[in-house]
Amino acid sequence: MADALLEIEGLTKRFGGVIASDSISLCVPKGELHAIIGPNGAGKTTLIGQLAGEIAADAGRIRFEGGDVTTLPTDRRSQLGLARSFQITSLFLDFTVLDNVALAVQAHAGHSFRFWRDARSQPELRTPARAALARVGLAGRADVVVSNLSHGEHRQLEIAMALATTPRMLLLDEPMAGMGPDESARMVKTLRELKRELTILLIEHDMEAVFALADRITVLVYGRIIASGTPEAIRANAEVRQAYLGEQEQRHG
Partner 1 sequence: MIASLTPRNVVVAVLLLLLATVPIYAAVTANAFLVTLFTRVIILGMAACSLNLILGYGGMVSFGHAVYLGIGGYAVGILAQEGVTSGFAQWPVALFVSALFALLVGALSLRTRGVYFIMITLAFAQLVYYFGVGLDRYGADDGLTIRRRSQFAGLINLSDRTQFYYLCLVLLLATIYLIWRLVNSRFGMVIQGARSNDRRMRAIGFPTFRYRLTAFVMAGAICGLAGALLANHTGFISPATMHWTRSGDLIVMVVLGGMASSFGPLIGAVALLSLEEALPILIRAMAFPVFGDAAVRMAEYWQIVLGPLFLLVVLFARGGIDGLLAGARRG
Dist. CA 25–CA 189, nearest whole Å: 30
Residue 207, interface with partner 1 (CB under 8 A)?
no
Sign of CA dihedral 220, 225, 227, 228: positive
Cβ contact 58:12 at 8 Å: yes
If the CB atoms of residues 104 and 220 are measured against partner 1, the closer one turns out to be 104
Taking the least distance from each CB to partner 1, the nearer of 5 and 243 is: 5
User: Which of 23/96 has CB closer to partner 1?
Assistant: 96
Q: Does 73 bind partner 1 (CB under 8 A)?
A: yes
Q: Count of residues for the chain?
A: 253
The yes or no reply on residue 6 touching partner 1 (CB under 8 A) is no
According to the binding rule CB under 8 A, does residue 216 interact with partner 1?
A: no
- State the Cα angle at 88 between 205 and 200, rounded to 5°: 55
84-113: which residues touch partner 1 (CB under 8 A)? 84, 86, 90-95, 99, 102-104, 106-108, 112-113
Binding mask 124-143 for partner 1 (x = CB under 8 A): -x------------------
Among positions 75, 143, 182, 197, the unique one binding partner 1 when judged by CB under 8 A: 75
The distance of closest approach from Cβ of residue 79 to partner 1 in the complex, given in angstroms and rounded to an integer, is: 5
Q: Determine if 67 is a binding residue for partner 1 (CB under 8 A).
A: no
Cα–Cα distance for residue pair 44/47, rounded to 1 Å: 5
Half-sphere exposure (Cβ direction) of 234: Cα atoms closer than 13 Å: 25
Q: What's the rounded Cα separation, in Å, for the pair 179 and 199? A: 23
By beta-carbon proximity to partner 1, the closer residue of 33 and 164 is: 164
Output the smallest distance, CB 128 to partner 1, in A.
13
In the complex, the smallest distance separating the C-beta of residue 119 from partner 1, rounded to whole angstroms, is 5
d(CA 161, CA 222): 31
DSSP state at residue 245: I
**Residue 155 touching partner 1 (CB under 8 A):** no
Antiparallel, parallel or unpaired: β 33-37 and 82-84: unpaired
- Give the footprint of partner 1 on residues 11-30 (CB under 8 A): none
Looking at residue 169, its amino acid is M
Strand residue runs (E) in 81-203: 82-84, 169-173, 199-203
In the complex, the residues that contact partner 1 under the rule CB under 8 A are 52, 54, 73-76, 78-79, 83-84, 86, 90-95, 99, 102-104, 106-108, 112-120, 122, 125, 161-162, 164-165
